[in-house]
Amino acid sequence: MRPLARIHADALRSVGHEVRLVTSDQHPESGPARDDEWVLDPRPKQASTYRPFWRVQREVRAYAPDVVVAELVRDPRWLALATGAPRIDVVHDDRPHDAGEQLPRWERTLFDRWRSRADLTIFFSEFVADQVDRPLRALVPLSSDVADADVPGLVDAAGRRDFVLSGRLNGYKNIPVALEAWRLHRDGPHFRGDELVLIGDGELPDDLPPGVRWQRGPFRYADQLDTLARAKASLVHYRRATQSGVQVLAMQLGVMPIVSPEGALPELQPLGGPVVDVDDVRSLAGVIDALADPEHAARQGRAAREAYLRRHSRPHVAQALSAAVGLAVSSRRG
């Protein structure tokens, strides 16, 4: 989550907070450490990781934060970095998407208890907040992993082409249904010569339908933003979901997401944006048929960008995060 943590740190700075980030190199977008980052290797079984941890622990204590924000901590040593200050826990999902996200029992036992004792919990959707029992909570707009300043201009109808499905291409992404809907679209009268572009790593069948192009492997947003921004739509038609940064990224880029009714996807969808039942192949193909028209895709893309600016852009994220920090401090004092 390092790119998103950077987005949140920069948002807090924009409204006057001083922020330091303790993070790791586990994300493809990590890159070189910024001046505001302490980078650790979160593998406690590796003896070589202890000396850097002790150094950062001393620096964190000297920094003496007023508030600690914890997000997806899995190294037990990092619990010591909370320093006794008011603590905010960030919850992304109410449950694992699949078996690959299921944590060992000892981790759930240790970290669930620690997270539940936070002074405040941040959620990114009403859906997830309703599933998790926490006494004091704050709702923050979900941001994409891309800074607003890095977003290319809105693509007009003449530049629109292809449909995209991106991220971790695992079972919960409902890819077989997407591929069957693509077959129907491509064999029908509304096909405009587009491709369905799959971007990311995962396990997919070798016999992908005609017109499907798989750009396999981890990717950097800087290398894919143009492909994503000129798409006619982004398929976020997941079989199991809480909320989706892919959905918000599409809106940020001016591309209409096509979502399922799962989790918070309808909650975050632009008003009037397509919501299609998980197994409804024909309706999904029909939505793809409509968005194959580049004029329609461009209009829907503008609506998606406007929804992003109204709800998810940095000023809204910064205001909500800052209010959460203030609430955590006041709750501890109370």
User: For 230-242, b where at least 16 C-beta lie within 10 A, e where not — what string?
Assistant: bbbbbbbbbbbbb
pLDDT at res. 100: 60
H or E element: which one contains 303?
Answer: helix 294-311
Low-confidence residues in the chain, pLDDT < 70: 27-30, 94-103, 333-334
Torsion angles phi and psi, residue 4, rounded to 5: -70, -40
pLDDT at res. 94: 66
pLDDT at res. 110: 77
Q: What whole-number distance in Å separates Cα of residue 294 and Cα of residue 89? A: 43
Q: What whole-number distance in Å separates Cα of residue 214 and Cα of residue 198? A: 5
Confirm if 21 and 38 have CB atoms less than 8 A apart. yes
The pLDDT tens digits of the residues spanning 83-115 come to: 889 999 999 876 655 556 666 777 777 788 888
Helix axes 245-253, 294-311, angle to 10 degrees: 110
Confirm if 200 and 167 have CB atoms less than 8 A apart. yes
The pLDDT tens digits of the residues spanning 31-41 come to: 777 889 999 98
Altogether, the residues listed in the chain come to a count of: 334
pLDDT at res. 97: 53
The pLDDT tens digits of the residues spanning 284-300 come to: 999 999 999 999 999 99
DSSP codes, 205-231:
-SSPPTTEEEEES---HHHHHHHHHT-
H or E element: which one contains 129?
Answer: helix 126-131
Helices (H), 15-67: 50-63
pLDDT at res. 33: 74
pLDDT at res. 72: 86
Evaluated on CA atoms 80, 83, 84, 86, the torsion sign reads: negative
Confirm if 321 and 8 have CB atoms less than 8 A apart. yes
Give the closest residue to 165 by CA, choosing from 209, 124, 123, 125. 209
**Domains defined for the chain, CATH in brackets:** 2-143+314-333 (3.40.50.2000), 148-311 (3.40.50.2000)
Torsion angles phi and psi, residue 257, rounded to 5: -80, 150
According to DSSP, the residues that pair with 258 across neighbouring strands are 235
pLDDT at res. 27: 67
User: For 271-288, b where at least 16 C-beta lie within 10 A, e where not — what string?
Assistant: eebbbbeeeebeebbbbb
Torsion angles phi and psi, residue 210, rounded to 5: -55, 145
Distances, alpha carbon 144 to alpha carbons 3, 224, 324, in Å: 9, 14, 19
